[in-house]
Chain A
C-alpha cells in the first residue's frame, strides 16, 4: 500500500514538470510531435527506474553518515554526503552510456526507437532531480525508491505526451503572434499544472 501511495503521488501530485519544473528543456524542445514525445518519455522512465535504485544503494551504503560501517566499525563517523552531487551525476552519465550499449546489443528495435534520446538524457534535470529527491525524502527500502523513480518517469511521460498532443492541434489556432511557439507552450503548461492540482491531497 505504501508503495502504491508513493507511485500515485509521484505521478500526479509531485509531478516532475508541473510541481517542480524538472526536465523543462527537453520538455519544450521535444514536444512538437506526439511520436517523439512518447519516445523520450519512455527513455526517461527507463533511466529513472535504473538510476534511482542505484543511487539509493550508493547513498545508503557509501555516502550517508555512518553508511560505511559494513566495511569497518571505525567508519561510523564518516560522512561523505557532500560528494553526493558528483557521485550521482557520475552514476547517471555512466548508466546512460551503459544502457545505451546494452540496448543497442540486445534490443536493436528499442534502440532504434530510443536511440537519439538516450544520450540527451544524461543532462535531463528530471533524472538528477529524481535521485536528489530520493536522497532528501529518505525512502526506507530500495523497493520504495524504485517505485518512486518509475512513478516520476510516468508522470513526466504523461506531461510531455499531453503537451505534444496540444501543440499538434494548436498549430491550427490563431495564437497572437508574439505568443506563438514558446509563450503559448508556457501558458498551456501552467494551465495543465492547475488541472493537475485537482489531485492534491490524495492519500491511498
Chain B
C-alpha cells in the first residue's frame, strides 16, 4: 500500500515545475471560445459556408463534428510541425494539412453517411477555407505547444459548433415544427393543438436569409448579457 502511494507520488514530484494538465489557463483555452471569445460572434471567423447547412439539425451536427475533428487534428499537426515549417510558405503548408484532413472526413462521410454527405454537397470541402481553422493555426498552433493547441482546437471548434446547432434548432423547429433524427424519425416540438388554432410553420425559416437573421439575434442576446463585447460605433 505504502509503496504504491509512493510510486504514484513520484512522477508528481518530478512534474512540480510544470503546470498541471488542466490548469486554470488550460481550462480557459477550452471555455473562453464558448462565450467571451466565440469564433463566430466575437472573432468573426468561420461564418463562411457553415450557415448554409443549418436547415436541419442532423446536417448541422455532422458538419460541427467534422469541424471539431479537422480543428483538433489540424491544430495538433501544425503545433508539432511549427518549428520545421518555413514561415514564408506556411500558408501553403497549412492549406495542405487542412485539405488532407478534409479529404479524410469527406471519404468517411461518403462511406458511412451517404445521404447526409449528398446533402452537405460542397460544404464539407469548404471546411478547407473556413477562416476559423486557418485563423487558429496562425494565431495559436504556430506558437504554442501541442497540448494547449489541442485544447484550443477543441474549444474553438465547440464554440463554433454550438452556434451552428443552435441556429439549426431554431430554423428546424420554427420552419418545420419538428426535428428529424436519423433512426428515430421526426419528433414534434410544436403541439398539434397550435395548428388547430391556426398556427402555421414559418417557411421563411427554411430559406437561407433567415440563418443570418437568427445569428444576428444570437449576437444581440449574447451582447446584451455580456456588455463588454459591445462594439464602438
Contacts and interface: CB of A to CB of B under 8 A. Distances in A.
A22 B129 CA distance: 10
Contacts of B212: 21, 186-187, 189-190, 193
B231 A22 contact: no
B122 A136 contact: yes
B113 interface: no
A84 B126 CA distance: 12
A124 interface: yes
Contact of B209 (A23, A184, A193): A193
B60 to A, nearest CB: 13
Given A21-B51, A129-B126, A179 B209 contact: no
Interface string A16-29: 00111111110011
Interface stretch (B14-22, B185-193, B219-227): B219-227
B125 A132 contact: yes
Given A21-B50, A184-B216, A125 B126 contact: yes
Interface stretch (B23-31, B41-49, B75-83): B41-49
A82 B92 CA distance: 19
Contacts of A129: 49, 122, 126, 129
Contacts of A83: 103
Given A182-B44, A190-B210, A193-B209, A25 B131 contact: yes
B116 interface: no
B215 interface: yes
A183 to B, nearest CB: 4
Contacts of A179: 216, 219-220, 223
A76 interface: no
Nearest to B215: A186
Contacts of A93: 91-92, 95
Most buried by B among A133, A136, A181: A181
Interface in B99-126: 99-100, 102-103, 106-107, 121-122, 125-126
B96 interface: yes
Contacts, number: 151
Interface in A102-128: 122-128
Contacts of A183: 216, 219-220, 223
Nearest to A25: B131
16 contacts: A20-B49, A20-B208, A21-B49, A21-B208, A22-B49, A25-B47, A28-B47, A89-B99, A93-B95, A123-B129, A132-B122, A178-B230, A186-B213, A190-B210, A194-B204, A196-B209
Interface of A: 18-25, 28-29, 82-86, 89-90, 93, 122-129, 132-133, 135-136, 171, 175-187, 189-194, 196-197
A136 to B, nearest CB: 6
B209 A197 contact: yes
Interface of B: 41, 44-52, 91-92, 95-96, 99-100, 102-103, 106-107, 121-122, 125-126, 128-131, 134, 204, 207-213, 215-217, 219-224, 227, 230-233
A189 B213 CA distance: 8
A86 B46 CA distance: 19
B157 to A, nearest CB: 16
Contacts of B231: 180-182
Contacts of A186: 212-213, 215-216, 219
A19 B207 CA distance: 8
A182 to B, nearest CB: 6
Contacts of A28: 44, 47
Contact of B99 (A24, A29, A85, A132): A85
A63 to B, nearest CB: 13
